[in-house]
Amino acid sequence: MMDRLNIVLFEPEIPSNTGNIGRTCVATGARLHLIEPLGFSLSEKAIKRAGMDYWKELDVTRYLDFEEFLEKNPGAKIYMATTKAPQTYTEVHYEPDCYLMFGKESAGIPEEILLAHQETVVRIPMLGETRSLNLSNAVAIVLYEALRQNQFAQMKLTGHLTKYDWK
């Protein structure tokens, strides 16, 4: 089985963010892991609208809590995105099957979890006292860096015009 990156959302609260992230996972071949409680129902229209018709193609797993996630993914290399991290997301090497974890929109990842994984916490640089980026944007930034570092394995790297040819 080919290596695949994994996106982990810790207690996501906003359905449109999760829907957008699901669509990004389908487009990149990443798996999505949702750690409960969720701030919405997965049947909500907002999830399906944001994920469009891609949601049915999504490889998604739900967990009751962080402990269950760890039990079911033993030995997983987990990089945790937080505004509190001492290193940026570009300063680490992402393995082709690693897990990229993001916290809930209102509070992020709990500090006790961050402390237990401090060697793999990363941040996206921002100006001043900006609280954070939108969750789906943050996921896309870090995920695409991990994909870039792994040479965009199995991804389509060229596009084609519909009416013309590139010179």
What CA–CA distance (Å, rounded) separates 11 from 153?
29
Is 51 annotated as a binding-site member? no
Is 103 annotated as a binding-site member? yes
Is 106 annotated as a binding-site member? no
Q: Strands 60-63 and 78-81: what pairing? A: unpaired
Residue ranges for the known binding site for S-adenosyl-L-methionine are 103, 124, 132
